[in-house]
């Protein structure tokens, strides 16, 4: 079928089998291999992408469902050489070890911060509960998201208070 | 190893909280993992698995697969040019494609090559296999029955060893208290997020390149070449970015690397094999399940006098790393204590299940659970505080380990106990009533629903290959004229951060900023064989080699700078990207200028250096002698709250103190401790490969409960630095040790909370709820 | 696999009917989070020849409250919407929140969860406890089935070939009452229910005038906890009553041992979760 959508801010127009996985469309047809396959069953979150701002498992998403949507993958996070605050925070806090789960975690985190700029710890945990990581033990990932939120909201002080309240 | 005192002077980069050197490409999605690589004409391959645990393989018929559209070829065992065998320790026992016999359900019988992954998979499924099923051998007891069918020609014992120190009979005769119990642990899956993947690319020059998600590229090269029937020089292995390994990407990477290479050579085009999650669980090694009978004798004051253990490991269908796991478990069975009389028998057997091999901790988590449960049972029997009992028996410098090895430095177990004791604070739900009995007895409760408890565990973990073989690392450091340096080591970074550690060590020695250092990915054409990346040895042995090479290059630079500054080389210091006079740091020349001058003057700017751990020297009958170059020591504490209704356990507190010799990168260190601890917690509470009749029933992440962020531990990393002469700047590895500490501390905390000693890991919610329901 | 997108219920039925006439196998798909998993695990065969996507049908996306308090939820309303809604019966939102992960809930739908009919599906017990009625459409017309009668076994329902779940209707009592849901899985995040329990009750004068309780993963289909309900009906809440009801529920369910939990543990959980859910639903009842 004829598909039209935007991917990382750019328009895409292509012929594709509507029943293929969005994951394969991104990786094999668009060459966007930053989106990873970890389980192929929606159980690990490594293939998380944002569709109209919502995190979804690209391994379970039929390509036809991209029609008319705005897709964001990890390749679309940085602005040229300038990393997204979440990417900076993940590096700064040591939230990346092998890095295979990282693209999915970044996108789940972005979806959260776009919706809730100053999340509490439980809100972060809920938002990231669909992204498995085997290396880090998660503490540094949580800190990285807090850090990115703090940086974005620096000065207003609400995020820290929110966090304390959430403990 | 150098006898010089450990450098404890001022350091610029070592000890600093630095970012991962390869982090940028990982957060931007630019890092290419093996399955991300694309080559013109790329084909995909997928294996037909046996699906039954044991049987006679009568026939494999590829014709139904070959009739399918998109299936290009099907390889059978007879298509393998070489011996069709892989393994770790000769004689190798694992075929790439089974011939004649099926030994476990994940056995590959044929390899289907297709134009897409889907077509390859459909092709694999269509291959017809005729297997006459045999009654599978599923338990250690069945395997050891003298009448049992032999899984391998040599019988069902994979490996068996003994450790004898002193005289245990005499030791027990003098004991005033003896405790004894039998402990079990279950199979555990690595569950790295990246399933195994390789791409084999024929070069047209008679050579083939294999890009692999793997742990030990030189190991792959040897096996791939042998099975291709080619000399090793015709095979190049490049480690792609590797999405976690934890010990799990040796055997299986070898298997699929060789199969992809054989298919690629045969078809003359690149071939990729990328496992699905289910294959990754069923078709690659697990952590050994263990049954450990343990007996401990002590005097009334808690002094340990004897320890005896019988370790039985279920190793599954193939040997893999079993021989070494057998040994490592045995050597660590007595814990970080002074025990004059020790006897350990350790045996791994074959069964018709997924094979077991290396997994972070390598046998140590299993025995530590047993020995630390014993320590708590002993503390209860003696009426001693568990931490106090450990304090009284903790090894001190100058005292012998279970193998009689004596370290005069870097024995920090006592200090880890003290660090934990200082930080421990009040028990959960406040201090116990003063009149109450000491630890191990009835703990505080909360309206009847919640039980609270505290557990501690001490551990040691040998660093380096030790008894497993020669331990040499070759590292190169090359400075360019712009003052940047390229470091090459044959040890891989699978996420644990070794590239960052190597960069720090080189930056420190060369006096440059870490951003000026590039650590190359491991390419067997470009770096020296450094042995396998195992045994928490990268920082210690690898870091030492990098340090030596960097110091040689630094020597050249200092000589050149001496000429330029008109002073002897010894008067020159390299720091901040400059060569400067030690006595007058304002007299300085940018390192790029020095490097350029050195280049034109013919001073060598590249050096290859070796670090060789002293060979293990020990008696092979008793395992008495010097085995490891150092030990990491640790003490963990966990406070838990147990829900009587559901068996849910909430970890309220987790302290993890480790003697790491010297912290190289606090960020990396914490990451290793936090991540390793969660794997240990999962081993103790959440994860169990569930097999029935030789079939794994939970080969997916829905039913195999890898912890999510909501299950994480509140780990606080506590550092003890007792520098070791074996490592760079005194550093010792820390990759594996936290697994054992967290697992054992969890078990002890649950026992303390419930008053019930669980002797089998994982202690699941169901186990706890059922046991408590019986109590009522 | 052909991918067809239906714009209305009628078009969906027509597409499905047409495929059937051609002798082509086809499945409805909404979010696809269960179907894609099922099909991926079945690579060797059993792939339908076509999928008919109903996730964009406006009628299936309605979430309406009638003036009298009746509630009607379209089958393609996403779980995330239910999870985030503050003005739905509590047990339904809580059940939706317990399913999978944020990623799954962003795609998955109420209708998909119900039609998948897995005994562990976390909206099933809530819909039963709330007395939901399922509206099913076919070319012959529409029929209504009480939620309790919809499920006939694991992954089996009364849906006829080509029939489509359009919406789930709840009477005014569903919103007038109090409800709560509890589940437990092997881990905390992204867990599949080892047991789940939903309760709904109507309080009158400090007593439970009406009670419905249902549990999942304790039988081939989600089940009403009739013995527990009987014990509770007409009673005022107390911890002791909760324990008795839990005990009764544990005895009346018929769980099995499987890879996710032993049967005995499921009984313990049924009791524990019912007690918790009741305590929450009864909180503040005067």
State pLDDT tens for residues B286-306.
999 999 999 999 999 999 999
Do the Cβ atoms of C43 and B118 come within 8 Å?
A: yes
Instruction: Look at A99 and B27 and tell me if their CB atoms are within 8 Å.
Output: yes
Angle at CA of residue B667, ends B663 and B672, nearest 5°: 80
Token representation of residue B300: 């009334």
**Where does B67-107 show beta strands of DSSP type E?**
71-75, 101-102
- pLDDT tens digits, A4-63: 999 999 999 999 999 999 999 999 999 999 999 999 999 999 999 999 999 999 999 999
Contact assessment for residue B319 and residue B88, using Cβ atoms and an 8 Å cutoff: yes
Q: Which residues are within 8 A (CB) of B364 and not within 5 positions of it... i.e. 6 or more apart?
A: B328, B329, B332, B459, B461, B736, B737, B739, B740
Residues on C contacting B at a C-beta cutoff of 8 Å: 43-44, 184-192, 259-262, 264-265, 268-269, 271-273, 275
| CA–CA gap between residue B371 and residue B219 (Å, rounded) | 34
Which residue among A36, A78, A140 sits closest to B671, beta carbon to beta carbon? A140
Six-digit token pair at B721?
């630095």
pLDDT band at B541; cut points 50, 70, 90: confident
Q: Mean pLDDT across the stretch B691-709?
A: 96
B200 and B259 housed in the same domain: yes
User: How many residue contacts between A and C have a Cβ separation below 8 Å?
Assistant: 86
Residue B65 has pLDDT above 90, yes or no: yes
A28-34 contacts at long range (C-beta below 8 A, 24 or more positions apart): A31/B38, A32/A7, A32/A8, A32/A73, A32/A75, A32/B29, A33/B29, A33/B32, A33/B33, A33/B35, A33/B36, A33/B38, A34/A73, A34/A74, A34/A75, A34/A103, A34/B28, A34/B29, A34/B30
Averaged pLDDT for residues C242-269 = 96
Query: Where in chain C are the domains?
Result: 177-282
Q: Pick from B565, B580, B612: which residue ends a domain? A: B612
Q: How far apart are CA C190 and CA C139, in angstroms?
A: 38
- Do B57 and B102 touch, CB atoms closer than 8 A? yes
Both B322 and B449 in one domain: the answer is yes
pLDDT of residue B3: 35
Which tops the pLDDT comparison, B543 or A155?
B543
pLDDT in tens, C40-79: 877 656 789 999 999 999 999 999 999 889 999 999 999 9
pTM of the predicted protein model: 0.96
The vertex-B663 CA angle with B658 and B669, nearest 5°, equals: 65
Count: domains in chain B: 3
Q: Cβ separation of C272 and B703 shorter than 8 Å?
A: no
- For residues B261 and B113, membership in a common domain is answered with yes
Candidates 3.10.20.30, 3.40.50.2300, 3.40.830.10, 3.20.20.20; correct CATH number of A2-76? 3.10.20.30
Mean pLDDT of B635-649: 96
Whether residue B27 is found in the same domain as residue B38: no
Interatomic CA distance for residues B102 and C136, integer angstroms: 50
Print burial letters for B547-585: b (CB count within 10 Å at least 16), e (below 16).
Answer: bbbbbbbbbbbbbbbbbbbebebebbbbbebbbbbeeee
**Where does A29-158 show beta strands of DSSP type E?**
48-51, 54-57, 70-72
B705–C192 CB contact, under 8 Å: no
- Provide the residue range defining the domain that includes B428: 289-466+619-775
Say whether A108 and C102 touch across the interface (CB within 8 A): yes
What's the pLDDT at B377?
98
What dihedral do alpha carbons A64, A68, A74, A79 form, nearest 10°? 160
According to the model, what pLDDT value does residue A160 have? 43
Instruction: Give the fold, CATH level 3, of C177-282.
Output: Enolase-like; domain 1 (3.30.390)
Residue B445 has pLDDT above 90, yes or no: no
User: Which residues of chain A does B20 touch, with a Cβ-Cβ cutoff of 8 Å?
Assistant: 91, 94, 96-97
**Per-residue pLDDT at A70 exceeds 70:** yes
pLDDT of residue B447: 57
Domain regions of chain A by residue span: 2-76, 85-166
Cα–chain-centroid distance for residue A80? Answer: 18
User: Is the confidence at residue B354, as pLDDT, over 70?
Assistant: yes
DSSP string, B480-545: -TTS-EEEEES---SSS-HHHHHHHHHHHHHT--GGGEEEPPPBTTTS-----S-TT-IIIIIHHH
In this complex, which of A78, A99, A130 lies closest to B241 when CB atoms are compared?
A99
Query: Scanning every residue of chain C, which has its alpha carbon at the shortest distance from the alpha carbon of A104?
Result: C103
Which letter does DSSP use for residue B468 in this model?
G
Burial (Cβ within 10 Å: 0-12, 13-18, ≥19) of residue C140:
exposed
Order of all β-strands in the sheet with C193-204: C178-185, C193-204, C207-216, C223-224
Question: For a pLDDT cut of 90, what percent of chain B falls above it?
Answer: 89
In a 3-state reduction of DSSP, which class is residue B299?
A: coil
Q: Are strands B606-612 and C193-204 parallel, antiparallel or unpaired?
A: unpaired
Q: Which of B470, B471, B544, B531 is nearest to B501 (CA)?
A: B544
pLDDT of residue B613: 84
Q: Which of B36, B246, B708 sits opposite A132 (nearest CB)?
A: B708
pLDDT of residue B441: 36
Residues of A with CB under 8 A from a CB of C: 1, 17-19, 21, 40-43, 45, 48, 51, 54-57, 59-65, 67, 108, 111, 125-127, 129-132
Residue C161 burial by CB count (10 A; 0-12/13-18/19+): exposed, middle or buried? exposed
Lowest mean pLDDT, pick from A39-48, B43-52, B605-614: B605-614
Note whether residue B489 is domain-resident: yes
Spatial separation of the C-alpha atoms in residues B720 and B362, rounded to whole Å: 23
Top residue of A34, A97, A108 to mutate, by most chain B CBs within 10 Å, is A97
Do B527 and B550 belong to one domain? yes
Q: Which pLDDT value is given to residue C34?
A: 95
Q: What is the CATH number of domain A85-166?
A: 1.10.150.120
Contacts of A64 in chain C (CB under 8 A): 3, 5, 53
Beta carbons within 10 angstroms of residue B625's beta carbon: 14
pLDDT at B531: 85
Quick one: pLDDT band at residue B432, thresholds 50, 70, 90?
A: very low
> For residue B211, what is the domain's CATH number?
3.90.1170.50
B413-424 and B386-393 are packed helices; what angle lies between their axes, rounded to 10 degrees? 160
pLDDT tens per residue, range B469-518:
778 999 999 999 999 999 999 999 998 889 999 999 999 999 999 999 99
Chosen domain end from B612, B628, B654: B612
Q: B298 with B401, same domain?
A: yes
Do the bridges between strand B472-479 and strand A2-7 make them parallel or antiparallel, or are there none, so unpaired?
unpaired
Same domain, B431 and B335: yes
Percent of chain A with pLDDT over 90: 89
Confidence of residue B77 (pLDDT cuts 50, 70, 90): very high
pLDDT-derived band at B9, boundaries 50, 70, 90: low
Which residues, 6 or more positions from B186, have their beta carbon under 8 angstroms from its beta carbon? B289, B687, B688, B689, B760, B761, B762
The more confident residue out of B612 and C151 is: C151
pLDDT at B747: 98
pLDDT at B439: 39
Instruction: Name chain A contacts of B715, Cβ cutoff 8 Å.
Output: 137, 139
Percent of chain B with pLDDT strictly greater than 70: 96
């Amino acid at each position: 079928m004829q598909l039209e959508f935007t991917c990382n801010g750019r328009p895409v127009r292509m012929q594709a089998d509507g029943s293929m996985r969005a994951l394969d469309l991104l990786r094999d047809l668009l060459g966007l291999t930053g989106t990873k396959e970890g389980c192929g069953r929606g159980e690990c979150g490594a293939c998380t992408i944002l569709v109209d701002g919502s995190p979804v498992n690209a391994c379970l998403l039929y390509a036809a469902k991209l029609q008319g949507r705005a897709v964001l993958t990890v390749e679309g996070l940085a602005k040229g050489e300038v990393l997204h605050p979440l990417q900076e925070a993940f590096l700064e806090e040591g939230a990346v070890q092998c890095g295979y789960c990282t693209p999915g975690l970044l996108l789940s985190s972005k979806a959260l911060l776009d919706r809730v700029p100053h999340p509490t710890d439980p809100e972060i945990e809920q938002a990231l509960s669909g992204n498995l990581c085997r290396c880090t033990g998660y503490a540094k990932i949580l800190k990285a998201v807090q850090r990115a939120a703090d940086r974005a909201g620096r000065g207003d002080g609400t995020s820290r208070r929110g966090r304390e309240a959430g403990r | 190893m150098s006898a010089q005192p450990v450098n404890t002077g001022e350091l610029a980069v070592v000890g600093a909280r630095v970012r991962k050197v390869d982090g940028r490409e990982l957060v931007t999605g630019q890092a290419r993992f093996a399955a991300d690589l694309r080559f013109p004409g790329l084909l995909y391959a997928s294996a037909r698995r046996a699906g039954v645990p044991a049987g006679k393989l009568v026939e494999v018929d590829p014709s139904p697969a070959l009739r399918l559209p998109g299936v290009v070829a099907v390889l059978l065992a007879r298509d393998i040019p070489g011996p069709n065998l892989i393994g770790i320790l000769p004689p190798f026992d694992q075929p790439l494609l089974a011939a004649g016999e099926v030994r476990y359900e994940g056995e590959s019988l044929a390899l289907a090559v297709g134009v897409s992954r889907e077509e390859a998979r459909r092709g694999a499924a269509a291959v017809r296999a005729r297997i006459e099923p045999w009654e599978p051998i599923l338990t250690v007891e069945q395997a050891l029955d003298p009448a049992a069918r032999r899984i391998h020609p040599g019988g069902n014992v994979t490996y068996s060893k003994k450790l004898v120190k002193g005289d245990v009979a005499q030791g027990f005769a003098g004991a005033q208290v003896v405790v004894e119990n039998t402990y079990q642990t279950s199979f555990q899956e690595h569950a790295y997020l990246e399933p195994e993947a390789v791409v084999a690319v024929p070069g047209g020059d008679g050579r083939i390149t294999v890009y692999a998600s793997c742990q030990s590229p030189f190991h792959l090269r040897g096996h791939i070449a042998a099975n291709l029937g080619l000399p090793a020089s015709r095979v190049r292995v490049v480690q792609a970015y590797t999405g976690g390994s934890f010990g799990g990407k040796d055997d299986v990477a070898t298997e699929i690397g060789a199969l992809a290479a054989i298919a690629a050579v045969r078809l003359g085009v690149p071939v990729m094999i990328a496992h699905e999650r289910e294959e990754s669980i069923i078709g690659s090694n697990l952590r050994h399940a263990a049954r450990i009978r343990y007996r401990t004798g002590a005097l009334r004051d808690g002094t340990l006098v004897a320890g005896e253990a019988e370790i039985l490991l279920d190793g599954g269908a193939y040997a893999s790393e079993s021989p070494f796991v057998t040994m490592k478990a045995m050597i660590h069975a007595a814990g970080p204590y002074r025990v004059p009389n020790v006897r350990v028998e350790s045996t791994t057997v074959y069964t018709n299940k997924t094979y077991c091999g290396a997994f972070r901790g390598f046998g140590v988590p299993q025995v530590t659970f047993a020995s630390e449960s014993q320590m708590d049972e002993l503390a209860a029997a003696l009426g001693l505080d568990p931490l106090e009992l450990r304090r009284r028996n903790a090894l001190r410098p100058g005292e012998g380990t279970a193998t009689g090895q004596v370290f005069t430095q870097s024995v920090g177990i006592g200090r880890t106990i003290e660090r934990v004791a200082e930080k421990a604070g009040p028990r959960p739900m406040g201090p116990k009533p003063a009149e109450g009995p000491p630890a191990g007895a009835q703990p505080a409760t909360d309206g009847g629903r919640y039980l609270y408890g505290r557990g501690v565990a001490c551990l040691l973990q040998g660093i380096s290959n030790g008894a497993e073989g020669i331990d040499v690392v070759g590292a190169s450091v090359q400075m360019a004229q712009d003052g940047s340096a390229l470091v090459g080591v044959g040890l891989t970074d699978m996420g644990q951060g070794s590239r960052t550690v190597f960069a720090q060590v080189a930056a420190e020695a060369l006096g440059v900023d870490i951003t000026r250092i590039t650590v190359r990915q491991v390419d067997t054409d470009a770096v020296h064989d450094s042995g396998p990346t195992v045994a928490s040895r990268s920082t210690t042995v690898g870091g030492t080699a990098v340090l030596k090479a960097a110091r040689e290059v630094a020597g050249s630079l200092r000589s050149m700078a001496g000429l330029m500054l008109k002073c002897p080389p010894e008067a020159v210091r390299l720091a901040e990207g400059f060569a400067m006079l030690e006595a007058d740091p304002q007299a300085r020349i940018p390192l790029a200028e020095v490097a350029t001058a050195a280049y034109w003057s013919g001073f060598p700017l590249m050096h290859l250096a070796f670090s060789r751990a002293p060979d293990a020297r020990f008696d092979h009958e008793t395992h008495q002698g010097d085995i490891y170059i150092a030990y990491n020591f640790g003490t963990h504490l966990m406070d838990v709250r147990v829900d009587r209704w559901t068996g849910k356990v909430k970890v309220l507190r987790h302290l993890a103190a480790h003697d790491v010799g010297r912290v190289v990168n606090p960020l990396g260190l914490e990451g290793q401790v936090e991540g390793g601890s969660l794997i240990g917690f999962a081993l103790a509470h959440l994860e169990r490969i569930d097999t029935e009749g030789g079939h794994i029933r939970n080969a997916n992440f829905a039913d195999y409960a890898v912890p999510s962020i909501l299950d994480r531990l509140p780990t606080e990393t506590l550092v003890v630095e007792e520098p070791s002469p074996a490592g760079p700047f005194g550093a010792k590895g820390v990759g594996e040790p936290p697994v054992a500490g967290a697992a054992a501390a969890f078990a002890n905390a649950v026992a303390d909370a419930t008053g019930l000693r669980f002797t089998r890991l994982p202690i699941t919610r169901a186990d706890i709820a059922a046991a408590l329901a019986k109590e009522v | 696999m052909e991918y067809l997108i239906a714009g209305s219920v009628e078009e969906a039925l027509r597409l499905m009917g047409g495929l059937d006439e051609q002798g082509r196998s086809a499945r409805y798909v909404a979010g696809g989070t269960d179907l894609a998993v099922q099909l991926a695990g079945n690579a060797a065969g059993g792939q339908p020849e076509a999928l008919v996507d109903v996730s964009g049908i406006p009628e299936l996306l309605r979430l309406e409250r009638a003036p009298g308090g009746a509630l009607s939820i379209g089958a393609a309303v996403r779980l995330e919407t239910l999870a985030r809604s503050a003005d739905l019966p509590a047990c339904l939102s809580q059940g939706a929140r317990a399913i999978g992960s944020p990623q799954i809930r962003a795609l998955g739908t109420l209708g998909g969860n119900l039609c998948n009919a897995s005994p562990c599906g976390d909206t099933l017990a809530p819909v039963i406890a709330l007395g939901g009625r399922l509206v099913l459409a076919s070319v012959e017309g529409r029929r209504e089935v009480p939620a309790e009668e919809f499920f006939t076994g694991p992954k089996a329902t009364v849906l006829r070939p080509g029939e489509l779940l359009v919406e789930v209707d709840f009477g005014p009592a569903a919103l007038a009452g109090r409800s709560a849901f509890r589940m437990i899985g092997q881990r905390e995040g992204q867990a599949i229910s080892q047991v789940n329990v939903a309760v709904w009750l109507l309080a009158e004068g400090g007593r439970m005038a009406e009670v419905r309780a249902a549990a999942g993963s304790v039988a081939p289909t989600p089940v009403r906890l009739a013995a527990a309900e009987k014990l509770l009906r007409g009673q005022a809440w107390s911890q002791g009553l909760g324990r008795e009801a839990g005990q009764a529920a544990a005895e009346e369910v018929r769980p099995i041992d499987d890879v996710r939990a032993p049967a005995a543990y499921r009984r313990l959980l049924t009791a524990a979760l019912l007690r918790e859910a009741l305590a929450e639903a009864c909180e503040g009842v005067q």
